[in-house]
Amino acid sequence: MVPTSYYIILSAALFAIGVLGVLIRRNALVVFMSVELMLNAANLVLVAFARERLSIDGQVLVFFVITVAAAEVAVGLALLVAIFRTKHTADVDEVSTLRG
């Protein structure tokens, strides 16, 4: 059985890559993908701890996280399409003002 600490280190690395994606990339869609990566890293560590404690509640929590992530992706992508329609760009630096 692989120790839980291995999973946590892997999850930390994936989370940091997601943070880097949000900080470095300018394509709004790739920034959004990085957010999904961070959510997945958190899910992984939740499942790892559920295994560590033999408590299935962690898996239930991951189920809810995935559901909310699905809703979040739908709304987020709809927002991006709406922004693209008015600004004609998906570069996050171009939409730094709140004006429409």
Partner 1 sequence: MDFVLFFITAAVALIGAIAMLVARNAVHSALFLLLNFAAIAVLFLLLQSPFLFAIQLTVYAGAIMVLFLFVVMLLGAERVEDTPDRIAWQRPLAVALGVALVAVAVAGVLRGVWEAPPGGEAAAAFGDPAHLGALLLTNYLLPFQVTGIILLIAVVGVAVLNQRGRAAPAARRAPTGE
Residues 11-30 that bind partner 1 (CB under 8 A): 12-21, 23-30
Cα separation of 23 and 18, whole Å?
9
Nearer to partner 1 (CB atom), residue 89 or residue 98: 89
44 binds partner 1 (CB under 8 A): yes
Angle of helix 4-24 versus helix 28-53 axis, rounded to 10: 170
Alpha helices in 1-100, H assignment, sequence order: 4-24, 28-53, 57-87
Which residues inside 71-90 make contact with partner 1, applying CB under 8 A? 71-75, 77-82, 84, 86, 88-90
Q: Does 95 bind partner 1 (CB under 8 A)?
A: no
